[in-house]
Structures are given as structure tokens and as C-alpha cells.
Amino acid sequence: MLTHLLNPQFSAEGSNRRQRENSTYTLFIKYMREAAILCISSGGRRGAVNLGSILRFATGTEEEPALGFALQPSIQFMESANFLPTANTCINRMNLSLPDESNPLPLQEELFNLFDLAFCNTFFGLE
């Protein structure tokens, strides 16, 4: 359900930027699957992170309001020197960093550790 709530804002299909967005988003989906295991078993792969933690990071709340969100939660892809996600809860947007030639995606476990740090924190990393 979280994948339907967090609407990714992709670039045009076939563009180089879209390919980089897809690689980042694919790893983010894989990370959410690992976080979802926590909901099923008490010893989840991502420790204290669960899907509610990710939603809280992006929107400020761990559950979807009964009448839905006034502003649709979204994921925006940005150029950044680091891969630590940031969020703006006023507009329900989470920012994920894109790789490039000078700044490739870190190894999966390193990236997931950055996601853990962000989603377990109450500081949203606003820029």
C-alpha cells in the first residue's frame, strides 16, 4: 500500500535521467520490502524501521488519514552529493538522490544503512 501512497515523480520515459531514477527507485522498493518483513516477524531485517517509519518520514504521520491526504505523498528525485533521503512534510514529499558518473550509487547495504538512519530519525533533513 505504501508504494501506492508514495507517488514517484519520474522523468520522461527513455531519458538518461529516468534510467537513473529507476535504479534508485528499484533499490528503494527492495528496501521497503525488507522493512515490511518487520510487520510480519519481530526480527525484521531493517531493525527499528517499518513501513510506518517511512511514511512518517515523508508525511509526518505513520498512518494514512481516514479521508486520505490533502496533498498526495510523493517521491522526487534530486541531484545530491550524498544519498541520505530528505523530506518536506509540509508538502508530503520525500527526496531520493540520483547517481551519476562522479557519484555512483553506494553498495546496497551502505545505501540501506543511510535509509535506516533517515527513517529512524525525527529530523527530516530539510534543505
Q: Where are the alpha helices (DSSP H) in 1-127?
A: 2-5, 16-40, 51-59, 108-119
What is this structure's pTM?
Answer: 0.87
Please identify, in words, the CATH class of the domain defined by 2-6+15-119. alpha beta
38-96 pLDDT tens trace? 554 444 556 678 888 899 999 988 888 888 888 999 999 999 889 999 999 899 999 99
- Residue spans of the domains in the chain: they are 2-6+15-119
CB 57 within 8 A of CB 95: no
Closest CA to 73 of 59, 88, 90, 56: 59
Strand 7-8's sheet: what is its strand order? Answer: 7-8, 74-79, 93-98, 86-88
**Active-site annotation, residues:** 90
Angle between helix 51-59 and 108-119 (nearest 10): 60
Confidence bin at 121 (pLDDT 50/70/90): confident
